[in-house]
Amino acid sequence: MSSHTKGDNTITTKDGVRIFYKDWGTGQPIVFSHGWPLSSDDWDTQMLYFLAKGYRVIAHDRRGHGRSTQTWDGNDMDHYADDLAALTDALDLRDAIHVGHSTGGGEVARYLGRHGSKRVAKAVLIGAVPPVMLKSESNPQGLPMEVFDGIRAGVAGNRAEFYRDITLPFYGYNRPNAKVSEGIRQHWWLQGMAGGIKAHHDCVKAFSETDFTDDLKKIDVPTLVMHGDDDQIVPIADSALLSIKLLKKGTLKVYPGLPHGMCTTHADVINPDLLAFFKD
């Protein structure tokens, strides 16, 4: 079991990992799961928006990321899902809405697949990695192993430079006439560099090779799948367009021309759409 000290803003998992979280406001809880290699700070814009709309907003730093313990092991989807379950249990959340971006979308899917929906009202997968990213005989549209080996090499070789560079495709800033925000790029870089290199290196395998097919089939709550069709990090054809076929109560919303990091670049579009789904 996990332990939890009120006011400490951390829980300690059964394997001794300290998970940092933010918990603001009252009302129906929204739990946000962030992408690789970021932290709960990536949800700042959403948390402020939904706090003002009368929701309780909660976001944690995944193990090895942000302000949580810089783990050297347990950096896999089962542990991520169990950590999320430990958090929801410690806070005794009920009727919660779970929102996951990218790797966090995988975390939400595995959490529901492993722990069920007794505490959950709805789910949202944004630019999310399910069903599975890696190319194989059974997943011919996936990305080849070389892509993920390249990410691992970037992390191991010159993480600081690699993290700076990846912000360009992440936010679509490498597209013609893109309006680049250096502040957003630096915010991504700061979040990434705060986490542990071993956990980040391991997480590449977790987000690329985990097969969430069975998890998606088990999800029995209304689930919104949001994806930009110009997502250069998690291509839509091998993710959202396949996930929607596996969900019992899924709704797909495709955003023409929007990038992987659309929650940040286009919060003015994404936040009202989330709100409409929550209220529906």
Residues identified as active-site: 102, 231, 260
For residue 220, the SS3 value is coil
Dihedral over Cα of 41, 46, 49, 53: its sign? negative
Cβ atoms 136, 142 nearer than 8 A: yes
The structure tokens 């088990």 sit at 218
Q: Residue 83 is encoded by which pair of tokens?
A: 């950590």
CA angle 94, 106, 267 (to 5 degrees): 75
C-alpha dist (Å) from residue 180 to 52, 93, 161, 172, 184: 28, 38, 18, 9, 8
